[in-house]
Structure 1
Amino acid sequence: MSLELTASQALGLWHGVMLEQVRQDGFDLTLRQMAILLHIYLVPPPHTVRGLAATLGVTKPVITRALYTMGELGLVDRVRDDIDRRNVIIKRTVKGALYLEALGDLVMAQGRSLTA
């Protein structure tokens, strides 16, 4: 199914999703954190700090700070690579998967409200 939106409708969809996130008092993630989290869950693993930095075009410290916050929230886990101790492997968590599933449901609901 394809949904054609104008720029204004797309922004309205995004606005509706963000408002509902605020109302639900969910995780207060930055755009950067959300982009990293979505990449970790939508792109097949493995994921490393180095790989995320290269893919997203930011420095490793930027990724590390974002992952620290998301780790504190239980959305991701970080583990040292047993083979190469310099690498940090990023793992998905059940809490992170459930959060993104609920966010996906919210986006779909907002999209349906546009077509109604």
Structure 2
Amino acid sequence: MPVTLRPGQALGLWREVTLAQVVDDAPDLTIRQLAILLTVYLEPPPHTIRGLAARLQVTKPVITRALDTMGAMKLVARHRDEADKRNVLVRRTVEGSLFVEKIGDTIIAKARELPT
């Protein structure tokens, strides 16, 4: 069933979810990092730096810097592609899966709190 929100409601929901992340002391990701993370977790693998850069319309160094940060937080992992050593594959982690799932749960909970 589709959800219909007015722009103010949508922004309020986004704010509430963001505030919940701050209160929960969740990893502090930039919007770009969050977009990369959600792409890795919501779109089917494999994910490469080149592919992520194309998908998000940014340069490969932008993806690499974001992955460095998220890798340090254990939200993603990088491995050399055994089939093509030139490629680096970006993989999901248990920590990252739990983080993304919690964001989804928070969105659902906050959406239920919206006035009808």
TM-score for the superposition, normalised by structure 2: 0.97
Alpha-carbon separation, structure 2, partners of 1:19 and 1:92: 25
Q: Alpha carbon RMSD of aligned pairs, Å?
A: 0.9
Identity of aligned residues (%): 59
- Deviation, 1:81, is 1.0
Alpha-carbon separation, structure 2, partners of 1:2 and 1:82: 42
Secondary structure of 2:63's counterpart equals: helix
TM-score for the superposition, normalised by structure 1: 0.97
Q: Report matched runs for 1:1-116 at 5 Å.
A: 1-115=1-115
Secondary structure of 1:86's counterpart equals: coil
What one-letter code is carried by the residue in structure 1 that aligns with 2:11? L
In structure 1, stretches of 5+ residues that fail to align are: none
Alpha-carbon separation, structure 1, partners of 2:102 and 2:16: 14
Secondary structure of 1:18's counterpart equals: helix
Structure 1 residue runs of 4 or more that deviate by more than 2 Å after TM superposition: none
